[in-house]
Amino acid sequence: MAYRNGTYVAFHADSNNIPGGKSDIDYYNLICAWNANKHHGFKIVNSHEKTNAVRDSSKKETLRASLLERLRNSKNMLLILGETTKFDTDWVPFEIAQAVDSYQIPIVVAYTGVSSKIWVPSAFSRCWPAALATRINNGTASAIHVPFKQAPIFDAVEGFSHEKLPKGGGLGIYANSAYEGWGIG
């Protein structure tokens, strides 16, 4: 049995691993920087760091096996949802499907273009990858929707797991008091 203490971070690489273009990889790198900075108080156990690195050029089956191992060791998934994430047709849909269908882990959906409170997650459904939309709509996904801000991301990653799901099914949100505590208007 896997020791499930990691956070699986999913994002659309958009065939781009060059920093600075405001692609999902830039937001992933920001998560890693927050995690590395001991003064931020932000700490996640990144499932990507718990297995051997696999390059995008690796054979598909090698990459698939590595992703499954990472998911197996994860208590939750952080989905970085940017402008192009919904256009990913291979790995992001696979990762979402496995997270929900095989491992029953909750998804922290962090919207890169949002800096304010999220009250109605369905208002962002146009941004959702089909795999996420299907699972939210059929009631199999458990998700909390947050702006891409350190405090709500950290709270969700720390607070929700396969053993403690967010309330609201696939449309979970934080209360106004939580946003006030984080200074997010």
Mean pLDDT per block of 10 residues along the chain (185 residues) reads 81 66 82 81 58 59 88 94 90 96 98 96 97 98 98 95 96 98 94
How do the domains of the chain map onto residue ranges? 6-182
Architecture of domain 6-182: 3-Layer(aba) Sandwich (3.40)
Amino acid at residue number 176: N
pLDDT at 60: 83
CA distance 12 to 35: 20
pLDDT at 58: 59
pLDDT at 83: 87
pLDDT at 37: 81
Grouping H, G, I as helix, E, B as strand and the rest as coil, residue 12 is: coil
Q: What is the CB-side half-sphere exposure of residue 117 using CA atoms within 13 A?
A: 15
CA distance 107 to 80: 10
pLDDT at 119: 97
Instruction: Decide: 88 and 144 in contact? Cβ < 8 Å.
Output: no
Instruction: Please list, in sequence order, all residues whose beta carbon lies within 8 angstroms of the beta carbon of residue 61, skipping any fewer than 6 positions away.
Output: none
CA distance 92 to 96: 6
Give whole-number Cα distances, 81 to 22, 47, 51, 52, 176, in Å: 12, 18, 24, 25, 22
